[in-house]
Amino acid sequence: MKITVRKSDERGHVEMGWLESRHTFSFGDYHDPDHMGFRSLRVINEDWIAPTTGFPTHGHRNMEIFSYLLDGSLKHQDSMGNGRVLTPGRVQVMSAGSGVMHSEENPEREKTTHMLQLWIVPNMRELKPSYTEWTPTPAAAKAGKALILSPDGRDGSAKIHQDACVWRVQLKKGERLDHALAAGRGAWLQVAKGSANLGDVALAQGDGGSTEDAGTLAITATSDFEGLLFDLK
């Protein structure tokens, strides 16, 4: 099984004072024709947002957007009337559809917000915008592999408009998890915390590893590990 690695330090880098961001794929002013996305996965941004700052109200459309908090908190408000403060363990999911306005801010006075912002291209356009959250059950909170997003909302996951599944993976050092990748699909593992081997390829914090070869994908933690696993048509 061939594994392709997107190294953390090769990602696009933005420093704006209030925001530091690393872009796995082309985004905003960062453009790299060799890194435009992976199948329907279009954006993986790792953001650090300074206290009492954030993204002012702005618009999105025709994109499935979710935010994964690693540390701190995130205040969300949108034109659908939703207002939430997100903390680690919960995932917000917004289907921008025909158009939505929203803002994201770090409400803390002293603590930096650390998060992953991820976009998946939907399989339908101009849908009615919607917002939901994934909150893990006690069993899912402890599970090595917990389904966050899916096209059918199974196992308590949030539903998205794409043939794509996303799992949160958390393993202790030395633990291994196997994932069966079917023919015609692609897998991407994004390291959020710690390190792991994807097959026999080492991945560190911020790295991404992908494959489009069918078979058993082995994830072995080389330190305490947290990451997101995408299985995409």
Which pLDDT score, from 0 to 100, does residue 199 have?
96
Sole residue written with tokens 């696009």: 12
Which pLDDT score, from 0 to 100, does residue 165 have?
98
Which pLDDT score, from 0 to 100, does residue 150 have?
98
Which pLDDT score, from 0 to 100, does residue 107 have?
98
**118, 43 contact by CB (below 8 A):** yes
Q: Which residues contact 127 (CB under 8 A, 6 or more apart)?
A: 62, 95, 97, 98, 161
Range of the domain at 130: 4-232
Looking at this protein, which amino acid is placed at residue 18?
Answer: W
Q: What is the CATH number of the domain that holds 141?
A: 2.60.120.10
Which pLDDT score, from 0 to 100, does residue 215 have?
98
Which pLDDT score, from 0 to 100, does residue 66 have?
96
Which pLDDT score, from 0 to 100, does residue 114 have?
98
What gap in Å lies between CA 89 and CA 205, rounded to an integer? 18
The low-confidence residues of the chain, meaning pLDDT below 50, are none
Which pLDDT score, from 0 to 100, does residue 200 have?
95
Query: Domain tally for the chain?
Result: 1
Tens digits of per-residue pLDDT, 15-37? 999 999 999 999 999 999 999 99
Q: Which residues contact 15 (CB under 8 A, 6 or more apart)?
A: none
**96, 53 contact by CB (below 8 A):** no
Query: Distances from the Cα of 183 to the Cαs of 9, 66, 115, 201, 216, in angstroms?
Result: 31, 27, 32, 21, 11
Which pLDDT score, from 0 to 100, does residue 54 have?
97
Report residue 41 as tokens: 């996965």
What gap in Å lies between CA 164 and CA 149, rounded to an integer? 8
* pTM for the structure as a whole: 0.97
